[in-house]
A and B are shown apart, each in its own frame.
Chain A
């Protein structure tokens, strides 16, 4: 019968296929042959055929028809067939397949086989894919092997027990006694398995954890032996004696020492010893040091030890190996809140890592830098962050900008610095900022009253340089619309003033309006700004009139509506234009969830973050123009002449607090006859759930005998049900 490796031949043929289609053809033929062979009686080729099938499976082709063959081969008395059969079972079967149940019996038998290599196969398979049922069934057998077998089997039985405990946690109790005695073994493999098993048991059962705390001294001894022992060739890795075992012991000590003074105390000296004596020039040593640091930070360590641990992390930051720098930063991130000052000492190195080539390292450095920002270091750290922003990878930009904004908001040393910082970010990465940035910046600008002139100058200069960054352009337009008069005055304390004419400013806004780079929202800003300038400039109002009139037939519905309304403001309501477009008051920061539409919002409306609705336009919204009088307008002593058209403008100087909602109903008419012979009423619904005390100021604009008049009424006392 065929000698040698027929699977090699098949593999060679498959690899020789030049196209996917050809490969599929070869595979189909081979699988057909394999199937045929499976159906035949035992002819000594079964293991080779299954091996071939496993190769085909690894290429991604279906191989489920081999499952039963695995079962058969596992039951074979021949080692070579068992070996492949078990391999096949691990590759083709998992606990969800019915066929896996069929191998339980074979495993059971093989666990007590005379050959340890057969036992090994069974243990390996059970530990890899044993279902809960199989685990329950075979647990006593595993326990027996844990106690009475050679070290080759014991170490495998220990890890098998780990798998069983993961599958059926209650069985942990069964293994606890045996695992305790395994700690006195000298064989590293067994010891390692024992430590892993004990760790698993302690993680699942607080009582077991309590029990094993008594083993801390023993574990400390073992660890000391590893650290201080001489060169052991069998377990040595780059000068470290069995780093795998050392790490596992450290991890177990961490679990045992957590929240426990006694256990932690017993371990302090050892940790200091490991920290000092471990050579970290290679990965193996660094792995041990890393685990040591994690353990120190997690148990109740003395403060000196904690500082030592943080310093190790600091040293890691300077390591040439990028992986070690990365690890250091993830660890520092975990402790930056609890050990803030200790981590601050390494801020310089962390900030340097922002310049690292590797994207993962950069990301960690960014996160840590943001966590380290404080009132003390804000200026210098922000410089670094802004530098980082100008060259940071695209996937980090959004996170960086929002981090910078948060930091600036919390620790800005001055308003000017704050505004400058935000403008810098918008210029560098304006496309990657969150949508609330625009209204937030505007709100900030309004509060910095002494800086209006400075701000509008900066923004004007930014606008004429570049109109591609929408967020920046929107804020610039808003500012120019609002503070354009300061721009035109030609003087400024804080910065070099520009010498511009009204036409220049209007040119800038019109460029934005007409540019195809401008989003619809941006154009809305530009149009409104242009309109507002009509009350701030003196010579070129006609130009504004014509712009507004042109956009009255704009295809964009939003712009068209605005233009039409502005047009009306010019035509029918020109006497009100100044009042409507006057300077905004300082805006409160509002809370989210504020409804608009019917309610009079005195503060910023947080916008739904779609490009379309980034409308700071709402600042204008605060001024409602209503063709309706209020009954209080006829005050005693004052009579109105015949035929008044009365208009009321509700002005938001005393804008209602956030919780109050206002709804204006339609007025009953728009003319008050003379001599008090009639009145017009309008109902205003106020919703005042928090029962804040209310004041309302009402400005009334009316024409009386062709004169435009304006009257302001303050209503200080409301009927008591209102609050």
Chain B
């Protein structure tokens, strides 16, 4: 009769240490020759109830994936406490968000990006909207969403800032609007 008191479990493996989310910070400065992705991946605007008011995607992503990302962003950002830091980690991206009145402005960035500058970028966009609409509020963005996109398209291109002067952006949007109105007016005149 053999008395052995080993545990009844089979061969033991050491536990894999859980990779904490924080390990992102330990990325060394690597020479990014193979860095193919866009620096800013997306920009989303959503309300406190999680309703999407604007979405700009800078990389090709299937529709289903976009919906999932949007859901994740709204869930994560809306769960943040009021005086929290404006930076989050999500998968391998940095998420920068800021709340302006009833709207959350949220962008997803590559790990190497400057978060403080991204905050400035979001702020600049809000200023441009404010200048255009005059004391902009969420309703303006809802009812004039194409304008919001047109302004964005004069400020960013391919995920990068294209114009750093508020004045120039405002003038370009104004001029485009003029062209549009002229065209619409022309089209509404009865043909002779």
Binding site for B on A (CB under 8 A): 1, 3, 5, 8, 11, 15, 44, 51, 54-55, 58-60, 78-80, 83-84, 87, 91, 94-96, 115, 117, 120, 123-124, 127-129, 152, 155-156, 159-160, 162-163, 166, 169, 188-189, 192-193, 196, 203-206, 234-235, 237, 242-245, 247, 251, 258, 283-284, 286-287, 290-291, 294, 297-298, 322-327, 329-330, 333-334, 357-361, 363-364, 366-367, 398-399, 402, 434-436, 558, 562, 565, 592-597, 601, 605-610, 612-613, 615, 617-618, 620-621, 624-627, 664, 666
B25/A621 in contact, CB under 8 A: no
Q: Return chain B residues, CB-CB under 8 Å to A247.
A: 114, 117
Query: Known contacts A367-B22, A607-B9: does B87 contact A323 (CB below 8 Å)?
Result: yes
The verdict on A360 contacting B84 (CB below 8 Å), with A117-B179, A237-B120, A621-B5 known, is yes
Query: Which listed residue, B10, B84, B121, touches A358 by the CB 8 Å rule?
Result: B84
Which listed residue (A51, A124, A258, A290) contacts B153, Cβ 8 A?
A: A124
Q: Are A155 and B9 in contact (CB under 8 A)?
A: no
A562 to B5, CA, bound (A): 8
Taking a contact as CB atoms under 8 Å apart, the answer to whether B168 and A189 are in contact is yes
Q: Could you show 10 A-B contacts with beta carbons less than 8 Å apart?
A: A59-B51, A80-B183, A129-B60, A159-B157, A169-B36, A247-B117, A360-B88, A366-B22, A605-B12, A625-B3
Q: Are A244 and B157 in contact (CB under 8 A)?
A: no
Are the C-beta atoms of B28 and A334 separated by less than 8 Å? yes
In contact, A609 and B3 (Cβ under 8 angstroms): no
Q: How far is the CA of A166 from the CA of B59 in the complex (A)?
A: 11
Inside 8 A of A84's CB, which chain B residues have their CB?
146
Main secondary structure of the interface of A (DSSP, over half): helix
Residues of A within 8 A of B29 (CB): 258, 294, 297-298, 334
B147-181 interface bits toward A, Cβ cutoff 8 Å, 1 = contact, 0 = none:
00110011001101111111110001001100110
Nearest CB of chain B from residue A583's CB, rounded to whole Å: 17
Q: Which residues of A contact B86 (CB under 8 A)?
A: 323
Q: Give the chain A neighbours of B3 by CB distance below 8 A.
A: 565, 624-626
Mark each residue of chain B from 20 to 31: 1 if its CB lies under 8 Å from any CB of chain A, else 0. 111001111101
Residues of B within 8 A of A618 (CB): 5-7
Q: What residues of B have a CB within 8 angstroms of the CB of A398 in the complex?
A: 18
Cβ–Cβ < 8 Å partners of B157 in chain A:
123-124, 127-128, 156, 159-160
| Cα-based distance from A444 to B183 in the complex (angstroms) | 83
Which residues of chain B are near A55, meaning CB under 8 Å? 145
Q: Which of A58, A193, A562, A597 makes the CB contact (< 8 A) with B55? A: A58
- B101 interface residue (CB < 8 Å to A): no
Which residue in B27, B33, B117, B184 is a CB contact (below 8 Å) of A243?
B117
> B91 in the interface, Cβ–Cβ < 8 Å?
no
Q: How far is the CB of A567 from chain B (nearest CB, A)?
A: 12
Would A627 and B1 count as touching, CB distance under 8 A?
yes
Q: Chain A: which residue is nearest B37 at the CB level?
A: A166
Check if B116 sits within 8 Å of A193, measured CB to CB: no
Note all chain B residues with C-beta closer than 8 A to A242: 164
Query: With A8-B143, A79-B179 as given contacts, are A58 and B161 in contact (CB-CB < 8 Å)?
Result: no
Contact yes or no, A593 B12, CB < 8 A: yes
Q: Decide yes or no whether B142 CB sits under 8 A from chain A.
A: yes
Of the candidates A44, A333, A360, the one having the most CB atoms from chain B within 10 angstroms of its own CB is A360
* B interface residue numbers (CB < 8 A to A): 1-15, 17-18, 20-22, 25-29, 31-33, 35-38, 51-55, 57-58, 60-62, 67, 81, 83-88, 114-117, 119-121, 123-124, 142-143, 145-146, 149-150, 153-154, 157-158, 160-168, 172, 175-176, 179-180, 183-184, 187-188
| 15 further contact pairs, Cβ within 8 A, besides A83-B180, A156-B162 | A51-B146, A78-B183, A80-B187, A120-B154, A120-B176, A124-B157, A160-B157, A193-B160, A287-B120, A290-B116, A323-B86, A333-B25, A359-B84, A606-B12, A612-B9
The answer to whether residues A203 and B116 also contact, given A58-B145, A593-B12 and a CB cut-off of 8 A, is no
Output the least CB separation between A184 and chain B (Å): 18
Residues of A within 8 A of B87 (CB): 323, 326-327, 360
In the bound assembly, the distance between CA atoms of A166 and B52 in angstroms comes to 29
Contact of B17 among A152, A402, A597 (CB under 8 A): A402
Residue of A nearest to B52 (CB): A58
The reply to whether B145 and A54 form a contact with Cβ atoms under 8 Å apart is yes
Q: A127-B158, A324-B116, A593-B13 are in contact. Are A54 and B146 (CB under 8 A)?
A: yes
Among A124, A325, A402, max chain B CB count under 10 A is at A124
**Cα distance, A108 to B94, chains bound together (Å):** 35
Partner among A59, A286, A322, A592 whose Cβ is within 8 Å of the Cβ of B83: A322
Taking the closest CB of chain A, its distance from the CB of B99, in whole angstroms, is: 13
B39 to chain A, nearest CB (A): 9
Q: Nearest CB to that of A151 among chain B residues?
A: B168
Which of A160, A287, A617 is the one whose CB lies under 8 Å from B116?
A287
Using known A-B contacts A117-B175, A367-B25, determine if residue A597 contacts B6 with beta carbons closer than 8 Å: yes
Asked if B26 and A334 sit within 8 Å, CB to CB, the answer is: yes
Residue contact B120 to A334, C-beta cutoff 8 Å? no
Bound complex: CA A221 to CA B85 (Å): 35
CB distance from A190 to the nearest CB of B (A): 10
Which residues of chain A are within 8 angstroms of B38 by Cβ–Cβ distance?
A: 163, 166
- Interfacial chain A residues near B4, Cβ < 8 Å: 621, 624
CA distance A399 to B37 in the complex (A): 31
Q: Is the CB of A11 within 8 A of B83?
A: no
In the complex, residue of chain B having the shortest beta-carbon distance to the beta carbon of A161: B158
State in angstroms the CA–CA spacing of A117 and B83 once bound together.
Answer: 42
Partner of A436, one of B14, B83, B120, B184: B14
Contact B160 A196 (CB under 8 A): yes
Minimum distance in angstroms from A703 CB to a CB of chain B: 16
Question: B162 CB to closest chain A CB, in angstroms?
Answer: 5
**CB within 8 Å for A244 and B58 given contacts A436-B15, A592-B12:** no
Minimum distance in angstroms from A575 CB to a CB of chain B: 14
Please judge, given known A-B contacts A203-B35, A244-B121, A247-B117, whether A364 and B25 are in contact too, CB under 8 Å: yes
> Which residues of the other chain, B, contact A558 by a CB distance below 8 angstroms?
8
Across the interface, name the chain B residue whose C-beta is closest to A64. B63
User: In the bound complex, what is the Cα–Cα distance between A251 and B7 (angstroms)?
Assistant: 58
- Check B25 against A203 for contact (C-beta < 8 Å): no
Closest to B67 in A: A60
Closest partner residue, chain B, to A1 (CB atom)? B188
Q: Is the CB of B119 within 8 A of A189?
A: no
A85: min CB distance to chain B, Å: 11
CB distance from B161 to the nearest CB of A (A): 5
Task: Contact check, B119 vs A323: say whether CB atoms are below 8 A apart.
Answer: yes
What is the bound-complex CA distance between A455 and B180, given in angstroms?
83
Closest to B176 in A: A117
- Among all A-B residue pairs, the 10 with the closest Cβ atoms: A287-B116, A592-B14, A127-B158, A333-B25, A159-B157, A94-B60, A621-B5, A613-B9, A163-B158, A287-B117
Residues A159 and B158 in contact, CB atoms below 8 Å apart: yes
Tell me which residues across on chain A come within 8 A of B143, comparing CB atoms: 5, 8, 11
Query: How close is B55's CB to chain A, nearest CB, in angstroms?
Result: 7
Q: How far is the CA of A644 from the CA of B104 in the complex (A)?
A: 87
- From A160, A189, A626, give the contact of B2 (CB < 8 A): A626
Report the bound CA distance from A333 to B25 in whole Å: 6
Q: Is the CB of A283 within 8 A of B120?
A: yes
Q: Contact between B9 and A610 (Cβ–Cβ < 8 Å)?
A: yes
Q: Which chain B positions have C-beta within 8 A of A597?
A: 6, 10
Within the assembled complex, what's the spacing in Å between the Cα atoms of A666 and B60?
Answer: 68
Min CB gap B104→A, angstroms: 15
Instruction: Please pick, from A128, A162, A322, A613, the residue contacting B85 in the complex, using a CB distance under 8 A.
Output: A322
Known: A117-B179, A129-B60, A287-B117. A358 touches B85 (CB 8 A): yes
Rounded to whole angstroms, the CA-CA distance of A206 and B179 in the bound complex is 45
Assess the B149–A608 pair: CB atoms within 8 A: no
Q: How far is the CB of B89 from chain A (nearest CB, A)?
A: 8
CB-nearest residue of chain B relative to A649? B3
Question: B10: which A residues are within 8 A, CB to CB?
Answer: 597, 608
Chain B residues lying within 8 Å of A205, measured Cβ to Cβ, are: 33
Chain B residue at minimum C-beta to C-beta distance from A94: B60
